[in-house]
């Protein structure tokens, strides 16, 4: 059996009901996302506080440590224990984090809802990442992914105010869908799940409802995923990093419409589908 650290299963309620008044003074109950702080302690040292829905706090923590390049191996982690009574998660490692002060001294605050942060230079170690050039995605599979997201039951449809990320197979099968107050949290949770399950990214497709910023491209590349899709757009830095790592970037993916920005050689066009397919 592959190694798995001890982890609690402390999923928190994702929404709460609040009373509101409409423009006519009528009272009703609506659901809103249940945002809460989660302070990460590594070997009793406070590292960062993440604002999260709390749906998968252990995987969020695991993915955060991986994407920040603070822990190199799953075997280095002994346990991840979440306690919502104190809004904290305690991570115990085997040998600590080498040079932790220096590695966390430089912090870049990232863009977007529920601001995230990245330790160290954003472009560190990018030149070491090599995404599989032979990976391919057909236009039909792209449409299948977009339609799956359209029909996915979600907190966003119920309460709004969240971002969603999803992991798909290259055939368009939905493997995992997660939502959080910030897209960086959602991608970290998926990264944690992939790391825990020993899942390779070379034959996967990543979808996000948020913008394709440099942070999202870097995290997708660190997971080894060659395809990054969004219903939103990209930034200049996101485009630059995608070109540098050889990632296929697709934006404005709604219905049968999309724009292909980078990695054009990986997409198998089936342009006739744009004429015949109908989306509700």
The total number of residues shown for the chain amounts to: 280
Please check whether residues 101 and 10 belong to one and the same domain: yes
Confirm whether 270 is domain-assigned: yes
Q: How far is CA 73 from the centre of its chain?
A: 20
Question: For the chain, what is the domain count?
Answer: 2
Position 43 scores a pLDDT of 95
Confirm whether 146 is domain-assigned: yes
- Give the domain extent around 30: 6-122
Please check whether residues 42 and 110 belong to one and the same domain: yes
Please check whether residues 242 and 184 belong to one and the same domain: yes
Please check whether residues 14 and 94 belong to one and the same domain: yes
Position 108 scores a pLDDT of 45
Please check whether residues 181 and 260 belong to one and the same domain: yes
Answer yes or no: are the C-beta atoms of 221 and 247 closer than 8 Å.
yes
129 — phi, psi (to 5°)? -90, 130
127 — phi, psi (to 5°)? -65, -15
Please check whether residues 181 and 151 belong to one and the same domain: yes
Please check whether residues 148 and 20 belong to one and the same domain: no
Q: Using one digit for the tens of pLDDT, what is the confidence trace for 172-221?
A: 999 999 988 877 889 999 999 999 999 999 999 999 988 888 888 999 99
Please check whether residues 50 and 154 belong to one and the same domain: no
* CATH number of the domain enclosing 247: 3.40.140.10
- pLDDT cut 70: percent of the chain above it: 88
Please check whether residues 267 and 165 belong to one and the same domain: yes
* CATH number of the domain enclosing 18: 3.10.20.10
For residue 204, give the 3-state DSSP assignment. Answer: strand
Does residue 241 register a pLDDT over 80?
A: yes
When computed from its CA atoms, the radius of gyration of the chain, rounded to whole angstroms, is 19
Residue with tokens 């991840």: 80
Mean pLDDT rounded to a whole number for the chain? 86
């Amino acid at each position: 059996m592959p190694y798995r650290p001890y982890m609690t299963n402390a999923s928190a309620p994702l929404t709460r009901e609040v009373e509101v008044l409409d423009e006519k003074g009528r009272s009703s109950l609506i659901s809103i996302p249940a945002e809460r702080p989660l302070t990460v302690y590594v070997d009793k040292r406070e590292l960062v506080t993440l604002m999260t829905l709390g749906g998968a706090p252990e995987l969020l923590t695991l993915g955060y440590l991986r994407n920040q390049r603070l822990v190199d191996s799953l075997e280095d982690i002994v346990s991840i224990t979440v306690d919502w009574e104190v809004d904290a998660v305690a991570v115990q490692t085997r040998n600590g984090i080498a040079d932790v002060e220096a590695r966390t001294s430089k912090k870049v605050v990232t863009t977007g809802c529920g601001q995230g942060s990245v330790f160290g230079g954003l472009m560190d170690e990018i030149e070491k990442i090599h995404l599989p050039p032979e990976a391919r995605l057909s236009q039909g599979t792209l449409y299948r992914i977009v339609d799956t997201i359209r029909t996915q039951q979600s907190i966003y449809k119920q309460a709004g105010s969240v971002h969603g990320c999803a992991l798909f197979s290259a055939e368009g099968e939905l493997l995992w869908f997660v939502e959080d107050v910030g897209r960086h949290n959602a991608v970290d949770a998926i990264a944690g799940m992939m790391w825990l399950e020993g899942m390779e990214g070379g034959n996967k497709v990543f979808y996000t409802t948020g913008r394709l910023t440099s942070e999202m491209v870097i995290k997708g590349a660190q997971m080894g995923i060659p395809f990054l899709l969004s219903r939103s757009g990209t930034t200049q830095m996101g485009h630059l990093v995608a070109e540098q790592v050889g990632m296929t970037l697709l934006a404005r993916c709604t219905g049968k419409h999309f724009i292909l920005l980078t990695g054009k050689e990986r997409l198998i066009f089936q342009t006739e589908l744009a004429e015949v397919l109908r989306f509700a």
